Amino acid sequence: MRYSATGSTKGQTILVVILLIVVLGLVAVIAYGIKTGKIVINPEGSSAPQVVPEDIQRMQKELMAKERELKELEERLKIQQESLNKEKEAFLRQMNEVLGKLGPQEGKEEEKGSTPEQSEEERLRYLAKLYGGMKPEAVARIFKEMDSATVAQIISRMGNRQASKVMSALPADKAIEITRLLKEGKVK
């Protein structure tokens, strides 16, 4: 099972959005200064804009505040990225454990003469129990990437309380699709 490194792309996207907000803020400050007459463009035929010293100090303070805010956001983003990486590693360890447990069981089930449907049912129950023990937000992040039919099969085998917490943490479109599958009885 391979996972892409989309965390760094998301981080870069967030930084670009923050920088865009800072630039738009500066443009708004300059536009406000021009509108109020504190920044004058081409005064009396001059080609250089004039800025009132108080405005420069105020803009510098605003820029420094934005810079501090940006650094704080960057630090929070770094912490969240580390947290996500730890959760991902824990999930991969759990999945390896599940796969390790499922692999040997398949051979034993075939020896006993059980059908593939029974072994699939046992696997789904095991996954429901596994995901039922995790935090709903972590399960929702995983389920968001899985196909809706599989998610619906697992959720149908979870306890009502845990299933409702997971469903509420899922994106609305994914939750709607799973609900539709459950309602239509398209879940084995």
Q: Is the pLDDT of residue 52 over 70?
A: no
E strand spans, 46-90:
50-51
**Residue whose C-alpha is closest to residue 36's, from 44, 48, 28:** 28
Which pLDDT belongs to residue 59?
87
Question: If you average pLDDT over residues 72-76, what whole number do you get?
Answer: 93
- What is d(CA 38, CA 32) in angstroms, rounded to the nearest whole number? 8
Instruction: List pLDDT tens digits, range 141-150.
Output: 898 888 888 8
Please write the tens of the pLDDT for every residue from 54-67: 778 888 899 999 99
Tell me which amino acid residue 84 is: L
Q: If DSSP codes are grouped into helix, strand and coil, which group holds residue 18? A: helix
- Per-residue pLDDT at 103: 60
66 DSSP β-pair partners: none
Q: Record the pTM.
A: 0.41
Average pLDDT of every residue of the chain: 80
Q: How far apart are CA 174 and CA 146, in angstroms?
A: 10
25-39, 108-122, 163-177, range with the lowest pLDDT: 108-122
More confident residue, 41 or 143: 143
Indicate if the pLDDT at residue 111 is higher than 50: no
